[in-house]
Structure 1
Amino acid sequence: MKNYSFLNDVKSKEKLLVQKKMKKTKDEDKKKELAKLLNRMNQQEQIEQKKRHRMEMEQQWKEKEKQLVKDGKTPYFLKKSEKKKLELAEKYKELQKSGKVDQYMSKRLKKNAQKEKKKLPGRHQRFM
């Protein structure tokens, strides 16, 4: 990541270029294509930020563990499920700060309800 950090600058310049082109173009089809491209660039940027944040959290955990091992504790390595739990806890804290916990939870409930509906046998399925 350190070796290729210059790519972030290139990406940001490309993003600005696409925004300028989108403002200048009058063709609707071309505008839609540029909007899709801009949206994809934004999504990739968000994914990259999440990845960096996850790596930072992991690095902090490892540093704490190194200190505890130096103090005499046996080393403990996080499992994937525990990492996910920590990420969810972090996300919940961020949502609490922004005041969007209720909105997030309602979306989660709707999503889970849809999953459950798909699992139920429907009219078109036959019982064997």
Structure 2
Amino acid sequence: MKGPTRGYWCKCWTENVTGTGGPARLASFDAYSASQADRWVAIALRTISPALDSDASDEAWAWLHEERAQTRRALLRSEPCTVTITHADVRITWTIRPVLFLALAHRQTTELPACAHRFKSCITE
């Protein structure tokens, strides 16, 4: 089996800034490089920017043109990063944090570990 792989866990969620309703996760993404992680946020911001109010659009473009390089440098230092845009009464937050992805056993080409044979299915046929 292959060992752990360094990467980044990326999440995006929204929350109402007026306090009504809890956060709702919109998406998550596993990235294997800092550039892939910050590109995920950049693509999302470019996609939604035409629909944002002018202040939120300015925040989005400021990150894209001025702060994205800082985010990439922080990720390369294994520091977690957050990008937040507020549109009307909705806050949209992207988080990127360094993680280790564990390899999974492939059932057809690898012998499963002994503990796998002790698993009892709760599904009856």
Fold conserved (TM > 0.5)?
no
Larger radius of gyration: 1
TM-score by length of 2: 0.29
Give the structure with the larger strand fraction. 2
TM-score by length of 1: 0.28
